[in-house]
Amino acid sequence: MRNLLINSTALATVAAITASVAVADVSITGSTEFKYLSRSSQITATDGTETKADSEIHFKFANKTDSGLTIGYVVEMFSDSGDTAIDESSFSVEGGFGKVVLGQNDGVEDNFGIAAVDLIAEEETDSVTSATISTNSDIRNSNANAIKVAYFLPAMGGFTAGISHADSGNTSGTDTTSYGAHYTMDAGGNTITVGGATTTTEAATTDTDSQNLGLKVVSGNLKVTVSQASYEAVDEDVSATGIAISYKLANGVILGAYSLKSEDDLDIGEEYTAAGVEAQYVIAPGLTAVVGVNDYDYKIPTGTIDTGMSTASDSGTTTSLTLKASFQKL
Compute the distance between CA of residue 93 and CA of residue 287 in angstroms, rounded to an integer: 34
Predicted local confidence at residue 33, as pLDDT? 93
At residue 10, the pLDDT reads 42
CATH number for the domain whose boundaries are 34-329: 2.40.160.10
- pLDDT on residue 285: 93
Q: Stretch 310-322: mean pLDDT, rounded?
A: 89
User: What is the per-residue pLDDT across 128-177, written as a single tens digit (0 to 9) for each?
Assistant: 666 578 888 888 876 677 899 999 999 999 999 999 999 888 767 789 99
CA–CA dist 3, 7 (Å, integer): 6
pTM of the complete model: 0.84
pLDDT score for 6: 39
Q: Does the structure show a pLDDT above 50 at 99? A: yes
Least confident of 19-28, 173-182, 305-314: 19-28
As a whole number of Å, the CA-based R_g of the chain is 24
Q: Which residues, 6+ apart, have CB-to-CB distance to 85 below 8 Å?
A: 77, 78
3-state secondary structure 141-170: CCCCCCEEEEEECCCECCEEEEEEEECCCC
The Cα–Cα gap between 330 and 325 comes to 17
Domain coordinates in residue numbering, the chain: 34-329
Find all residues with CB under 8 Å of 316, minimum gap 6, and list them: 39, 40, 41, 42, 46, 47, 127, 295, 296
Strand partners, 218: 191, 223
Tens digit of each residue's pLDDT (9 = 90 or more) over 249-302:
999 999 999 999 999 888 888 899 999 999 999 999 999 999 999 999 999 888
Average pLDDT for 225-254? 93
